[in-house]
Chain A
Amino acid sequence: MEHSVMTRLGDGSLIRMTPSEIRADLEEATALGAKKAKTEPLAPEDLDQLLEIFASNAKFSAVDVGDELILSCDGSGNLDSGTRLDELYSYQSHRGADIIELYHIDYSYKAIKTILSFETQTMKSAQLNLVAPLQYGAMPDLGRYSQPDGPVPNWSELMPLGRIDEARAAQEEAMEHAVRDMVFVAEGMIEAGADGLDFDTAGAAGDADLLAALRAVEEIKSRHPDIGIELGMASEFVLGMHGQLEFHGRRLAGMWPRDLVKVAAEAGVTMFGPAVNVNTTKSVAWNVARALTIVKPCVAEAEIPVHMNVGMGVGGVPMTPYPPVDAVARVSRAMRQVGRLDGL
């Protein structure tokens, strides 16, 4: 009888699987991922490596010595120990982060605009006290500009009524507000000494959300060419809430990481973060194989570093507030060893 190993499902719960079952999961997931993202499945040798990583009872798993990658963070700290500066220092000196991020719990550029002087003062103090590169991060968060929270009509209410043109116009108007706010916050942060800006979960409200971020990035880089810009995706492809928006002649709706990394680089992004959703009912090995299938072509064709989103519920890491280290370690190793990611 074939032995079994302890592994986990995408919701973090423990299960036991045999190596044959894990191999079957890997093959099924890469076939599904390739079909959905219209790309090639992982090569047999890639699946062999994944099987070696996942068919192990070791608590921890890691890349080879010398093959380490860069760890950037969308928000550094849990707001559970001292000040935000304390948390940044802890991430820099004790938790192995290479690029750290100052953030506010209301993680939205619209919200940050109202407390910018407070945030920039914290950035300035942090820059004087830290060595590691420190960026400021928040979400474009286009939905905040729709009624009742914002000034423009709510496109999510208009669309079910069939008022498509009005819904599109509302998103276009919201974009103008969002771009203005993101550039405003970026100017304040750059003046305070920030090394870069992070536009995290770009596209969460669809293609207009993403386009607002790309336009903001283009504007910021035209004024500050040496500033770092990290752009993180919200899901594995761009949702077409508007459907007709283009950046430099390329339609954004339905775009996968392989093409979006090129669009992002064209806008001025210096680090790109793809995100692939986790299926909580499938094994971590299944989720990693699917994520790698979608992201590997992006990494191969990118001209800028690719930092995969591997957090709770994305990139293969289980969807739980307390991701188990055995799963996180295996995902991280697979992303570098098989995916050749530049960072996480």
Chain B
Amino acid sequence: MQMTRGMRLEQAKAHVAGRLGVSTADLSDPLIMHEVRREFGLGLIPVQELTYPSEPGAIEAKFHISEVFDVPINSVQKFTEHIAPRAAARSVGAGVVSPRPEVSA
């Protein structure tokens, strides 16, 4: 919120806390935020025996961060731009890419 929106600290904390339904003091509590981050899919920190392969991580989590906080994230936008045409083409009947014509023997 500070980096791309230019929000001052109090404003940024209030925005994030409001979106997550917690108090601003909760934002720096690791136990509370672990559960909140898991609930919203914002990414978790693996610690040896505590790994989270079934939870969103890295670029996956940033999709959720962008959505939850209503903030554009450049890497998410670029990822979407790069993957979307191919994903669309793979779906049946999408019509984005014409099927490859059959080659007769």
Interface of A toward B, CB cutoff 8 Å:
65-66, 68-70, 72, 93, 99, 127-131, 133-135, 190-196, 226-228, 230, 265, 270-271, 302-305, 342-343
Chain A positions within 8 Å of B27 at CB level: 68
B interface list, Cβ under 8 A from A: 2-9, 12, 24-25, 27-28, 42-43, 45, 57-59, 61-62, 65, 72-75, 78-79
CA distance A226 to B52 in the complex (A): 31
Bound Cα distance A70, B12 (Å) = 10
Docked-complex contact B45 and A66, CB < 8 angstroms: no
Nearest first, the 10 A-B pairs at minimum CB distance are: A193-B75, A66-B25, A228-B3, A127-B75, A270-B6, A342-B9, A131-B43, A228-B4, A305-B2, A304-B6
Take A66-B24, A271-B3 as given contacts and tell me if A305 and B74 are in contact as well, using a CB distance cutoff of 8 Å: no
Alpha-carbon gap, A128 to B62, bound state (A): 9
Q: Is the CB of B4 within 8 A of A196?
A: yes
Q: Are B74 and A131 in contact (CB under 8 A)?
A: no
Residue contact A99 to B25, C-beta cutoff 8 Å: no
Whether A195 contacts B73 in the complex (CB less than 8 A), given A130-B58, A226-B4, A304-B8, comes out as yes
Contact A342 B3 (CB under 8 A): no
Once the chains bind, are B6 and A271 in contact (CB under 8 Å)?
yes
A131 and B65 within 8 A (CB): yes
- Which of chain B's residues have a CB closer than 8 A to the CB of A69? 9
CB distance from B84 to the nearest CB of A (A): 15
Interchain Cβ contacts under 8 Å between A and B, 6 examples: A128-B58, A193-B75, A196-B4, A226-B4, A226-B74, A305-B7
Task: Tell me if A305 and B8 are in contact (CB < 8 A).
Answer: yes
Assess whether B78 is in contact with A270, with CB atoms less than 8 Å apart: no
CA distance A99 to B12 in the complex (A): 14
Flag if B3 contacts A127 (CB, 8 Å): no
Residues of B within 8 Å of A135, CB to CB, are 3
Do A128 and B59 touch (CB < 8 A)? yes
